[in-house]
Structure 1
């Protein structure tokens, strides 16, 4: 039997609250991935807030500094019937993205409305990526001249019991990261066999994802607690 994907399983099993150690995971993840940021590209993160209607969840940058709230918050367009957790994830992700854009130099409105494929529509001249899993929320933003992708997943007990291994999770995260980075240019639906991560990479080291018909994409990744996170910032 094929194990479910991390996304399929986590939506049904995650609790609504998380222990304080998750904040340490967030800061360590930001620190590790932040080392790979080129000039002009910014990384932010937060935890999924307990209050799904909190307009200003606290956000930290890649060196662990808590950022002041923005004067304008992104529009919150999500069906009212969606569960509170989904509202909290959406709001936290858009808030992180807006903070990353501000750090990258964007000064205009930040609606970040979903596009045809549900990903945020970034302001002219900018690009970015957002991810969330098991309470952790991350966003990267920068000039449009970069392919930017970020992804995080957590090896929860339910996933482990389903037969998913740490290596399976890493492969999934590297593929998702590469897909998000290359989708604006490729415009093709996600097809996992098109993204082949190179094996035997250690946390904190540079991995490469081989794309069908393209040069290998460098991806930095890290693991803290149950979370595996990856980031790519590749010039076009």
Structure 2
């Protein structure tokens, strides 16, 4: 059985927030809750990176460990979900999660505590798959329809990958091998191809020297 996982490629994420918008629209997420958000590190300085963050559906999920009513459960695909009918809204899971995935829905300027809400990997909830009750509480069950999470499908640069953990890891590993790492990723070779001896900036293979016909 496939174990579903997310990976976000920080070298490809352009902070467009398309994944955030797609998630809210697909599941009609309540106001004040972002099941997915984009976090930018070193904003505005060299080395700036952005990454799309949501529930990572941990193999050893801390939210499951601290929940006093055991409303969290794991599906056969490794997706961590929760039962809103059992949830008491204590917020322990919100404090335990390193990704801040479980959130309180907010109503009005100051918010009102209620049942916790979190990313479902587009796998719905404990209700019957595709039912109106499931959609109202958890959003659309795309996995039951044979589809992947909408956030990954809508990512314009394919920075966000979702699906079978082994397949996703192979894709990311291939990218790293092909593009290199660190300074190699956005170096001269990436932008202009191999730099020839004696060529300066602006004189690579894609921009001929002055006086030389293309």
TM-score by shorter chain over 0.5:
no
* Greater relative contact order (CA < 8 Å, ≥ 6 in sequence): 2
* Higher Cα Rg, which structure: 2
Give the TM-score taking structure 1 as reference length. 0.28
Give the TM-score taking structure 2 as reference length. 0.30
Higher-strand-fraction structure: 1
